[in-house]
Structures are given as C-alpha cells and as structure tokens.
Chains A and B, each alone.
Chain A
C-alpha cells in the first residue's frame, strides 16, 4: 500500500483540468518518471509556482471538479512520481477519480464547507496531514493548530488502495 501522510499543497481553484496538471506535449513520454519535472506546469494560479511549491508535498487539497478534461492517466502518474499520492477536493471528474484508485492512490471528496474550513485554517501555512484508514480520519496539523476530519471511502475504493490498484484486483478476481 502507498504512503499517504505528509505535507499539503493547497490549490485554491475549481475545475483544475488534466491539461493543467500535465500538458499534452508531455504525453509523448512512455515512462512515468519522465513526467516528474512537468507537474502542474500550465497551472496559472496566483501565488503558486510549480518550480518551488511542489517539492516535499504528499497531498493536494483543492476545490470542485478536480481533474476534469482528458482521460490521461499521466495526470495521476505525474502526481505519483512527485510523491503526491492523495488529492482531497470538494469534487472530482469521474475518470481522474477512478484513475487515482486504479493506481492505488486516493481521491477523497469532502463537503464544500469542510474544504472551505481547511483553506481558511491552513492555506498559506506549513501544513501536514496524517491519514487513518481504520477510522477514516484525517488529522491536519500546522504548528499548534490541529483539526480532525472524518471522510468516507467506498468499499471498492478501499480495496483498490489495499490491493495496490485495479490491475492487481482484476487479475485476482476475473
């Protein structure tokens, strides 16, 4: 199973699409590792610099309809090779959501208000999140600020995370 704890990268916009996550010109790469330098290269967001802000992060927190657009699994892979194994957002596009779990990673949906609170409380501060997959609990921490947030995962999603992805799961079952 992958490792999900770590530093949070806040991306404060809805509808962040897969072209922004990894531009089409890099789809000529046939290894995941080659995508590493280009993650979020075309995301133009005030105060965000992909060159400096991604390094060391393990989790992305964002808004609604995250990962919309193209079906390219290069988007989850580009996160994966940068050590980001989880995206928490108020909503996801279907294909991106499925792709994350298919790779044994997590795309967790939280209510709008909860995401709002996370942005208000932690954005701009050095923040970490710990994930408890037994109790379905996130613990966000920044200095002395601590917030515990419950989440849900479907049984299917959880078994993909535990199996390490859909190829392993399907190969065993079909």
Chain B
C-alpha cells in the first residue's frame, strides 16, 4: 500500500509502538524557546535528570520577549542561557543573533526533508515546508524530547490539499491559507497532517511555503507538509553542498519522501485559487474570514508586520513596495519586526528599512513582539490591529483588542489609510 509523506517519515523513525495507534518516534531536532522550555528544564533538574539526549540536535533561541522586559522574562532567558551553556548546546541564539524561532531555524539550515522535529510551540508546523514532520508539543513532551530524543504521536492521517490554478496578482500564500482555513474550519484537520501539493505550491518559494504550513495548526493540523523539490534543495544548498555531488543528487535523495501515487488519505480536496481575492479575518477565530473588499473601510489603530507567518524578507519587500514614497495615515501607528537579524540586514541593505521609516513605521529588533501580546505593541481595550500574524483570538494582542489577520500587502495598504484597504486601491 502506498504511503503519505508523514507515513514514510514515521516508518523511518519508529522506535516503539507501545499501543495500537501510538508511535514513539526518534527526533532529529528539538527546538527550544524561552517561554516553554524553562519549565521543562526546571522539572528535569527537580527530577535529578538534568541531561540532554544529544546537544547537537538541540537548538535554542530567546525570541518571544527580547530584550527582556522585566525580572521574570529576564529569568526565563537566564534559565535557557545557563542551560545551553551547561550542556554545551552550541546552537543557542541570544540577543543580537536571535530571531523568531520558525524563521531563524530554517534560515540556519536546521531543517531537512524527512526530519522529525518537535518544539514547545504550536507553530512548529511551519517547518513542514521542507518536507519534514514538525509538530508543536507541550512542555512535558518537550522535556522527554530533550532527555530521551523521542516523542509519542498518534499515527497521523493526512489530508491531501491540491492547490490549483494561478493566484491573481496581489494574492499571496497568506490569502490562500486564510481561505483554506475558512473552508476547513478551526478543527477540520485535527490529528491530521495537511499535505499541500499542486501547481500553486510547486511555484511557491520556501518563504511562501512556510507561510502556508505555519497556519496549518489554525485548522487543527498536527503539521503542514510540502513535497520536497528543487526549491527545497536550492534553499538548503549552502548547508548540504558538502553532502551531495550535485543538486540533482540531493533532490533524488530527498524524493524518497514524496508521497506515493496510491497513498491513502483521510480526505482529499482541490482548492482553486484563480479567482481568489485577498482575505482578512473578522472575528476571534482564524476561520472567520472575509474578502478584503467586504471588510474595506474598517477603522484600525495599529498595523503590525512581522511574526513567524509573515516577517520574512519577501513579506517586508512586498509591504515596502506599497509604502514607497508614501506616509502612513495620521490616525494609525505602525510597527514592523523583521523576523531575523539576517532578514533585517538584507532589508537594511536593500533600502527596505528606509522605506518603512520614511513612511512612519517603528522598526523593532527581531522578536515575536506584538504577535502574542507579551512584550511590545500591545493593544488597549477596544483597539483594532491589522496584523500579518496567525492568531486573532480574543485578547491575543492585549485584553479587549481585536486583531484582523491579513497579508503584508493588505497590512501595508491599510497603514496608508488607517482603515482596512485593498492593496489594489493604493
């Protein structure tokens, strides 16, 4: 019987099947950040098990609140930092070199097709863009991952999503995934892997695929996953060129993770995007989505461009193209957080940062920032934010605030008017 990508990866990593339907798999990487890891670290110490299974497979970053904003967040950073030193975890990224985990770790070459990855962060599904099985877990799973290098999962079903057509200009990966979540619902993919394929995905670069996979969890999915292809190899080439004689050879090796034609899926769906319009959320659930034209004119107080969904170079470039030689509206305040130092540097060198600043944006250091309302960019009660992030839950960006999720293009266009605005109208 044919296999899906996830099934192939599970087969190659299976350590134990303690019960029917439960797979304990070995992990190729365990990613850590300063919010969910310190509790795991402290618990390991309390159990007298302050060890790591393999320091070279653990990657850690301080990204959610950086620089630390108070004594408590300073302590979270310190616990992670001391732990990384104590266990000689070389890939630890502290302030100055840190960035949003799901943008930073791919950029450092830590993700490969066929890998199994966990992190105490629900958007770990982002890394499925590389053809990896990457899942968010809680601190206890993380703790066992750190200690033993294994994690348990129900063998996941996959949902094959064929994205077909040609997206109209001005429609981005963010619009596609928002429309898809609206169709599937916030729990339509629970306990499943969303396997993205089709001509639209084939043409997407890795940044766009990461945007797509990033929001798989908003439909309840365990992971999003894309078939590894030449885009994947091109992105990874600086990190793998020593391992392969040519890009073709790398591609061939990675293609063992392509799904079989006769693979069995929980569900298969075609999603046509040729007539898709830019999308935006309107409520407190990510599946409450309308077109930007339906929502146009909605008053906003803040614009936020950044996050693991849309804080990458292309996202900034798209927004800057709209903002060039223009000013944001007086009624709105605007923040951009390049997701990593590398993205920041490239944006600086290519003049993008200058465009943002001339337009009236505040440019922050790489951080999760406003996305989860823990450090900067918090909304006051009753305020509204046009945001390129991935969650619009009630209170997410501050108690009483409302978040409208959208693409960087729509966010930039909205910055110019102080109202939700289609980029086509700029």
List of A residues within 8 angstroms of B148 by Cβ:
170-171, 174
- Complex Cα distance, B3 from A51, in Å, reads 51
Shortest CB distance B265–A (Å)? 18
- CB nearest to B49 among chain A residues: A171
- Complex Cα distance, B285 from A76, in Å, reads 21
Q: Is B21 an interface residue (CB 8 A)?
A: yes
Q: Is A50 an interface residue (CB 8 A)?
A: no
Interface residues of B in 133-148 (CB under 8 A from A): 136-141, 143-144, 147-148
Given A30-B39, A154-B21, are A69 and B393 neighbors across the interface (CB < 8 Å)?
yes
List of B residues within 8 angstroms of A68 by Cβ:
186-187, 220
- Complex Cα distance, B139 from A83, in Å, reads 20
A102:B138 contact, CB within 8 angstroms: yes
A20:B393 contact, CB within 8 angstroms: yes
- Complex Cα distance, B154 from A155, in Å, reads 12
B373:A102 contact, CB within 8 angstroms: no
B394:A42 contact, CB within 8 angstroms: yes
- Complex Cα distance, B17 from A156, in Å, reads 10
- Complex Cα distance, B20 from A102, in Å, reads 18
Mark interface residues in B46-88 (1 if CB within 8 Å of A CB, else 0): 0101000000000000001100001011011001000000000
B394:A65 contact, CB within 8 angstroms: no
A155:B19 contact, CB within 8 angstroms: yes
- Complex Cα distance, B137 from A23, in Å, reads 18
Shortest CB distance A61–B (Å)? 18
- CB nearest to B287 among chain A residues: A15
Q: Is A46 an interface residue (CB 8 A)?
A: no
Q: Is A91 an interface residue (CB 8 A)?
A: yes
- Complex Cα distance, B32 from A31, in Å, reads 18
Residue in B36, B72, B393 whose beta carbon sits within 8 Å of that of A17 in the complex: B393
List of B residues within 8 angstroms of A170 by Cβ:
24, 144, 147-148, 150, 152
Interface residues of A in 129-144 (CB under 8 A from B): none
A19:B396 contact, CB within 8 angstroms: yes
- CB nearest to A23 among chain B residues: B395
List of A residues within 8 angstroms of B191 by Cβ:
94
Q: Is B372 an interface residue (CB 8 A)?
A: yes
Query: How many residue pairs bridge A and B at CB < 8 Å?
Result: 145
Interface residues of A in 46-71 (CB under 8 A from B): 64-65, 68-71
A73:B139 contact, CB within 8 angstroms: yes
Shortest CB distance B95–A (Å)? 17
A166:B187 contact, CB within 8 angstroms: no
- Complex Cα distance, B393 from A20, in Å, reads 8
- Complex Cα distance, B144 from A102, in Å, reads 10
- CB nearest to A17 among chain B residues: B393
Number of interface residues of B (CB under 8 A): 57
List of B residues within 8 angstroms of A91 by Cβ:
187, 190
B374:A28 contact, CB within 8 angstroms: yes
A15:B138 contact, CB within 8 angstroms: no
Q: Is A6 an interface residue (CB 8 A)?
A: no
Shortest CB distance A152–B (Å)? 13
- Complex Cα distance, B76 from A30, in Å, reads 8
List of B residues within 8 angstroms of A65 by Cβ:
186-187, 190, 220
List of B residues within 8 angstroms of A44 by Cβ:
394
Q: Is A36 an interface residue (CB 8 A)?
A: no
Q: Is B417 an interface residue (CB 8 A)?
A: no
Shortest CB distance A31–B (Å)? 8
- CB nearest to A42 among chain B residues: B395
A73:B150 contact, CB within 8 angstroms: no
B24:A166 contact, CB within 8 angstroms: no
Q: Is A173 an interface residue (CB 8 A)?
A: yes
Interface residues of B in 362-393 (CB under 8 A from A): 372-374, 391, 393
Mark interface residues in B178-192 (1 if CB within 8 Å of A CB, else 0): 000000001100110
A70:B122 contact, CB within 8 angstroms: yes
List of A residues within 8 angstroms of B21 by Cβ:
154, 156
Q: Is A2 an interface residue (CB 8 A)?
A: no
Q: Is B204 an interface residue (CB 8 A)?
A: no
List of A residues within 8 angstroms of B122 by Cβ:
69-71, 95
Interface residues of B in 268-293 (CB under 8 A from A): 285
Residue in A30, A155, A167 whose beta carbon sits within 8 Å of that of B42 in the complex: A30
Shortest CB distance A172–B (Å)? 11
B138:A72 contact, CB within 8 angstroms: yes
- CB nearest to B72 among chain A residues: A28
- Known pairs A156-B22, A174-B24, A174-B150 / 5 extra A-B pairs, C-beta < 8 Å: A30-B76, A70-B121, A71-B121, A76-B138, A170-B152
5 closest residue pairs by CB, A with B: A73-B138, A99-B138, A102-B140, A28-B72, A65-B187
Can you pick out 16 interface pairs between chain A and chain B where the beta carbons lie within 8 Å of each other?
A: A17-B393, A19-B395, A24-B373, A25-B374, A30-B42, A30-B75, A65-B186, A65-B190, A68-B220, A76-B138, A93-B190, A95-B122, A98-B152, A155-B19, A159-B19, A174-B24
Q: Could you tell me which A residues sit within 8 Å of B by CB distance?
A: 15, 17, 19-20, 23-25, 27-30, 32, 42, 44, 64-65, 68-73, 76, 91-95, 98-99, 102-103, 154-156, 159, 165-167, 170-171, 173-174
